[in-house]
A and B are shown apart, each in its own frame.
Chain A
């Protein structure tokens, strides 16, 4: 029987799946995407480089920091400019806060997918810790357009460091609560362990990205492989799990939040004083560049071709959810209908970033 799952399903978001269902078992699945296709790549070709900053971050507002991060890294490489050290550290801090905020949002959706409502409330509340910090720094909570080619827009405000430390200490205690509340919870373990196993070879074959890949035991992280900004000056670890099931992917994201706290603390310790941006010319030399950053959902690539003008000739955004989507039909084969929301949430796919 054919079942259309979404877009009105409470968990699905702005897309749907065509499920082939035999009794209660899913035997085939085809995603129906495009509900939020805005043609961001085309729009970006018609705007100047600086105008594109707010455009590209709309691809994924949950992780706006890292989406602009990749874009400005690409434009700066085309321009051949070096960003001041202080700006690099500020970018790392904002990128990691954006990652934590995004993982917390995933955590609440994952919890509601397995039916734990308290764990829906806690992460949403704690996400405010970081959104407030970002508001303190940039003035805006979500789509802050804070990175621009050449640096960042504002310096750290007075009291930002102390406030961050205070909130980090609190959030670290909260993470311990999360672990007890969710990861040691028998319901959660039963719903996620050995469910939706993605083997290591399959994960590479389908080029899954980010925590989904690291949950299958492949240690790939752009922050380590090709360190950008100030990541080469911070000695963090890349968490991996070998099982490849839903629980492993969830655990990787949990440990990534711990690592993000560590990175933010180190960056605040090591941040030098000095300029926060350099002036850049509005037009960009002829050439092409492929820049990669590690966003919350995984590797994000920007392929920009410049013809020497002040607008990109072509901007291709290789978005993480789009790339992880390919593995969803694979892991949904042969599972009961009740596992569909769990598996969908375990990959942390968002339709906005699939469609662009």
Chain B
């Protein structure tokens, strides 16, 4: 049963605008907000099948456990870091898919660049293993509790700063 019902809102010059009521997505966002009212700063439905949740960094593991155990988000699709130099922080984004609900959730948190440390989610989802290793290597973010944060993709003798940070400039001239 698909609980989503399309509602035709009206016409404009571009064509028919279809509004979709995302009951399931809104339900997930509401459930997370209701369980962690103080830790979740934002929970919204981006579009059909996409929910974005922003969480304080010290409560990520709790929210992740709720997502996995109670809401059925069991399938890790991606872990990304994003560098924001003017805000002096990194954003870490976990994209988790729910096989039963067919929703992709983006679990976001921010860490300061002065102290880029964060609890690893490997205790919740085993599959974040290599993703977190890659993020650690490319952004210099430490995932506390990760069993094996060693060199992965970069060369063994790499001595420069983590390459995906914005202050690492790609050489444009031949050296």
Contact = CB atoms under 8 A, between A and B. Distances in A.
Interface string B131-160: 000100000000000000000111100000
A206 interface: yes
A34 B95 contact: no
Contact of B82 (A46, A205, A207, A314): A314
Contacts of A204: 74-75, 99
B127 A323 contact: yes
B170 A46 contact: yes
B78 A303 contact: yes
A355 B153 contact: yes
Interface string A35-67: 001010111001000000000000000000000
B104 A290 contact: yes
A218 B78 contact: no
B130 to A, nearest CB: 6
Interface residues of B, number: 30
Interface of A: 33-34, 37, 39, 41-43, 46, 204-207, 218, 220, 225-226, 290, 292, 299, 301, 303, 305, 313-314, 316, 318, 322-323, 325-326, 355
A220 B98 CA distance: 11
Nearest to A315: B80
B95 A290 contact: yes
Given A314-B82, A316-B78, A316-B80, A206 B164 contact: no
Contacts of A290: 50, 77-78, 95, 104, 106
Given A39-B163, A301-B78, A318 B95 contact: yes
Nearest to A226: B49
15 contacts: A34-B154, A39-B163, A41-B164, A205-B127, A207-B75, A207-B125, A225-B102, A290-B104, A292-B77, A299-B77, A314-B82, A318-B77, A323-B127, A326-B126, A326-B129
Interface of B: 49-50, 74-78, 80, 82-83, 93, 95, 99, 102, 104, 106, 125-127, 129-130, 134, 152-155, 163-164, 168, 170
Contacts of A39: 163-164, 170
Given A226-B49, A301-B77, A318-B80, 11 more contacts: A42-B163, A42-B164, A204-B99, A205-B126, A205-B127, A207-B77, A290-B50, A290-B95, A290-B106, A292-B77, A299-B77
A303 B91 CA distance: 13
